Amino acid sequence: MTTAADSANGPLELLVVQPTPFCNINCSYCYLPDRQSTRRMTSATLEQTFRWVFASGLVQAPFTLLWHAGEPLVLPVAFYEQADELLRRHNADNVPVLKSFQTNATLIDADWCAYLRQPDIHLGVSVDGPAFLHDRHRQTRQGQGTLDRVLRGIHLLHEHGIPFQVISVLTQDALDYPDELFDFYQAHGIFSVAFNVEEIEGPHTTSSLQQAGTPERFRRFLRRFVTLAAEAEPPLQVREFDCSAAALLAGRPPKELSARTQENRPWGIVNVDCAGNFSTYSPELLGVKSLAHGDFALGNVAVDSLESVRTSGRFQKLEAEIEAGVNLCRASCTYFPYCGGGPPANKYFENGTFASTETLFCRLHKKVCLDVALELLEANGRAGHSA
């Protein structure tokens, strides 16, 4: 079993920075509690964030800087150019940093394309497929669909030769339409897709995927979609299959079964909001308060060192509960060797405690994905004894 001390120092793999909580659209399943706020991160907070991160000792290897949790493109390009400069200034050892943006693509224009075409930038575009799926959930505050604007952004990305990956949120109604989604990706030059299931998180307290029979429906959807994707020319990459297949084929050696995932291990992820408040574990926890744990923001980059937070009773209590949850997963779930324990945010929002096991996310995004990957690998004769 691991202890808090064993895994206390990261390493940092993902730095999630929220330049603003504001989002220019209003998706029905959004988990951000404060997405109408137009606050933005100041230059001083931005600099304190990078200073804090590189002084923390958590940076031991290349990591990803993800601009997310709010629509990052509502801030001007100049903000990110300044961020790049500050990052360079504080990254004294020149640790490789992959910059990543998760955007709804509605604000992409030629200026953004000129910036986003840098080779060390990874771009994720959120789009849920054809209008009858996308526009049902991804709407403006006036209730208008946003697909037309998203497609304009995607068209510009293609024009400027900027590669991107797509994230689509699957709701109950989408599970009937794998062929239509496949057609949509093919029609719009999308070659890499990730499916997020509609999760229960933050203010989004229910999911259409809670309906009885959903795991089997999701299984049928994924099986059909992955089969179509594999036959495409070029093949369409599907994150859920690729990650699950990799986990199955590699497995986890017994000595690594005690290791925790990026999301349930302390300081594998650091999340910083626009005011400089920071948290670790699941990004969805930042900005949320709990009766048992108080604010999941554990400190502020302006005033709190990593060490002071790590030794605080609040962090110790949080870590103990999350670790207990991972240990429960390890003891009770046959999928643990390929999963490493469920995300803390899902456990908290669904089960009310981190010291718990299965969630809707587990049932769909872990178990079904692994099952389908195994089934397809075996069907293709590639599983071998390792799976």
By the criterion CB under 8 A, which residues form the site for another protein?
A: 130, 132, 176-180, 182-183, 186-187, 220, 224, 228
Residues 70, 32: Cα–Cα separation, whole Å: 7
Residue with tokens 């400069």: 85
d(CA 385, CA 45): 51
Give min distance, CB of 164 to another protein, in A: 22
Structural contact between residues 287 and 273, judged by C-beta atoms closer than 8 angstroms? yes
DSSP label at residue 294: E
CB of 139 to another protein, least distance (A): 17
- Residue with Cβ nearer another protein (40 or 223): 223
Q: Which stretches of 110-234 are assigned E, i.e. beta strand? A: 121-126, 165-170, 192-197
Nearest to 168 by CA among 147, 189, 191, 196: 196
Element (H, E) at 243: helix 239-250
Q: How far is the CB of 233 from another protein (least distance, A)?
A: 11
Q: What are phi and psi of 265, to 5 degrees?
A: -105, 140
How near is the Cβ of 176 to another protein at its closest, in Å? 4
Shortest Cβ distance from residue 235 to another protein (Å)? 13
How near is the Cβ of 183 to another protein at its closest, in Å? 4
Any residues with CB less than 8 A from the CB of 86 and at least 6 apart, and which?
A: 43, 46, 47, 50
Cβ nearer to another protein, comparing 177 with 195: 177
Closer to another protein by CB, 39 or 188: give it.
Answer: 188
Q: Which of 154, 218, 203, 207 is nearest to 363 (CA)?
A: 218
**What CA–CA distance (Å, rounded) separates 367 from 122?**
28
Using the minimum distance from each CB to another protein, give the nearer residue, 82 or 172. Answer: 172
CB of 210 vs another protein, minimal distance in Å? 20
Within 13 Å of residue 234, how many CA atoms lie on the same side as its CB?
A: 6
Residue 220 or 293: which CB sits closer to another protein? 220
Q: Which is nearer to another protein, 189 or 251 (by Cβ)?
A: 189
Q: Are 276 and 298 in contact (CB under 8 A)?
A: no
Q: Which is nearer to another protein, 72 or 178 (CB)?
A: 178
